[in-house]
Amino acid sequence: MCKGERINVTRSSMPPYEEYIEAIRPLWDTHWITNMGRYHMELENQLKRYLGVPEISLMVNGHMSLELAIQMMEFQKEGGEVITTPYSFISTTHAIVRNGLKPVFCDIKWSDATIDEDKIEELITDKTVAILPVHVYGNICNVEKIQEIADKYNLKVIYDAAHAFGIKYKNKGIGNWGDASIFSFHATKVFNTIEGGAVTFQERKYYKKLYNLKNFGIHDEEIVVDIGANAKMNEFCAIMGLCNLRHIDMAMQERKEYYTRYVQELSDVKGIRLLDRNRDSDNNYAYFPIVLEQDYIYGRDRLYERLKEDNIFSRKYFYPLISDQKCYRDLYSNGALIHAKEISDNVLILPLYEGMGVKLVEKIVKIIQGRKEYYQN
């Protein structure tokens, strides 16, 4: 690690330079670099197998994946409402609003920060059209209970699985639950295509719908059937995904080493709480969140600033809540967001990425533990 190097929460996974350069070489022969080319289709097929899903559609990014997944459902109710969580990246709610729908914020569970399935039903009205939960930090929502509620009220379920790449729940790829799931392949994610995303779903009819929607709604050369967008993944990004997919299992294994070390060293630190993991799901080791409680020796913000002094940039992820952001504050109805507010005010995400090294993990742990040598004043 170079002196003065900035340590972020994550660092983009990249294949060996020579591997990527060799992989993109054929593009100079074909000059086909976008518009659902060979590598776009190849990545779709490989991801379908890796994620264990029946259908998948690649997108330019995770946000457009969600926005078009909502659009493809063709909700007809004017003023339709979507029950979702305020504890997520802002994109989740933007996608709802940009589809002309209203977000209704539901509180999260104290144990794992996923949407509280026991509080969903009380928020359902005659305008509710869907539930949009988030597998936050790769923690899997209570998919069975959520589906039970959706079936009872004839609602669609769209999962934001941006953090859940490669995770299986009860030995089944997480992209199989609900009516659709979306993934983000942004450079900061455990698997990336530089920029990219995907929608997974069960029904084949949605593949053609999404194909049209991500290509301006164009059905063929002379017919436009939908009001679509430009959400196509280009070939350079698709090739990066193909290369990274070859190394993803090794990358997760290395992340597991650092994740496990954090757990071992921080589980018994007074005032540090680790979120629960679903015992029926595995882990992709994408994030390591800690919640700082009142009996921690320092406040969340002091620890955040102390880490920055050593160029370690943890993140208050997610703070503030989406419902508290200027663009949404006081605009939409929501339930009591007690747990969401408390976790948001006290959460910190620690660095976790391949190549960071055990020594860096140990240094971060010692700062959190309040070792005197790291607090001289």
Q: Structural domain boundaries of the chain?
A: 17-242, 248-374
Distance CA 34, CA 236 (A): 8
Confidence class for position 2, pLDDT limits 50, 70, 90? very low
| DSSP for residue 275 | P
For the stretch 193-214, pLDDT in tens is: 999 999 999 999 999 999 999 9
Residue 33 pLDDT greater than 80, yes or no: yes
Task: List helix spans (H) across the chain.
Answer: 17-24, 27-30, 38-51, 62-72, 91-97, 143-153, 205-213, 235-266, 300-309, 338-346, 358-369
For the stretch 287-325, pLDDT in tens is: 999 999 999 999 999 999 999 999 999 999 999 999 999
Burial pattern 240-252, b for ≥16 Cβ within 10 A else e, equals bbbbbbebbeebb
Distance CA 291, CA 296 (A): 10
- Main-chain phi, psi angles of 157, to 5 degrees: -125, 120
CA distance to 49, 102, 210, 272, 294, per residue, from 240 (Å): 17, 36, 22, 38, 44
CA-closest candidate to residue 82, choices 350, 262, 333, 342: 333
Confidence class for position 372, pLDDT limits 50, 70, 90? low
**In angstroms, how far is the first alpha carbon of the chain from the final one?**
26
Residue 119 pLDDT greater than 90, yes or no: yes
- Alpha carbon 301 to its chain centroid, in Å, reads 24
- Concatenating the DSSP letter of every residue in 280-320 gives TB------EEEEE-TTSSS-HHHHHHHHHHTTB--B-TT-S
For the stretch 49-62, pLDDT in tens is: 999 999 999 999 99
CA-closest candidate to residue 362, choices 376, 351, 347: 351
Tokens standing for residue 13: 């996974």
Predicted pLDDT of residue 3: 52
Q: Has domain 17-242 been given CATH number 3.40.50.300?
A: no
Predicted pLDDT of residue 214: 98
Confidence class for position 334, pLDDT limits 50, 70, 90? low
Distance CA 13, CA 44 (A): 19
Contacts of 52 (CB under 8 A, 6+ apart): 168, 172, 173, 175, 176
Distance CA 216, CA 230 (A): 6
Contacts of 200 (CB under 8 A, 6+ apart): 51, 53, 55, 56, 161, 173, 175, 176, 180, 181, 182, 183
Tell me which architecture the domain covering 248-374 has in CATH.
Alpha-Beta Complex (3.90)
